[in-house]
Amino acid sequence: NAGVTQTPKFQVLKTGQSMTLQCAQDMNHEYMSWYRQDPGMGLRLIHYSVGAGITDQGEVPNGYNVSRSTTEDFPLRLLSAAPSQTSVYFCASSYQTGGDEQFFGPGTRLTVL
């Protein structure tokens, strides 16, 4: 199993550009989520999904969209990039919500100029 994969690993955007961060898992996990990690702020939840076709907002959803058309994929879209979105983004999945280990992807380091 590849586990949780993310692409790209690094990305530089200009303010106002849009892009999609890809996330996929091959463990048949129902729960998937996106976090951003900033120095001293820990892991902040952006959006999450409890199954295909179901998504919801986390703590910091503004400026981001998600969709979950399949169990395997959970892309994160930046609509109009801003310097405040410079961060490291992690996708995670787990077998079920709440009481299960979160498996994280390798992360995407995004810089917005």
Partner 1 sequence: GENVEQHPSTLSVQEGDSAVIKCTYSDSASNYFPWYKQELGKRPQLIIDIRSNVGEKKDQRIAVTLNKTAKHFSLHITETQPEDSAVYFCAASDSSGGSYIPTFGRGTSLIVHP
- Binding residues (CB under 8 A) for partner 1: these are 33, 35, 40-43, 45, 48, 58, 90, 96-102, 104-107
Distance CA 70, CA 24 (A): 10
Residues 6+ apart with CB under 8 A from 77: 18, 19, 20, 21, 64, 65, 66
Q: Considering beta carbons, is residue 15 or 100 the nearer one to partner 1?
A: 100
Provide the minimum distance between the beta carbon of 51 and partner 1 in the complex, in angstroms, as a whole number: 13
Q: Considering beta carbons, is residue 14 or 39 the nearer one to partner 1?
A: 39
Tokens 């409890």 belong to residue: 50
First to last CA, the chain: 36
3-state secondary structure of 8: coil
Provide the minimum distance between the beta carbon of 101 and partner 1 in the complex, in angstroms, as a whole number: 5
Q: Considering beta carbons, is residue 17 or 102 the nearer one to partner 1?
A: 102
Provide the minimum distance between the beta carbon of 14 and partner 1 in the complex, in angstroms, as a whole number: 25
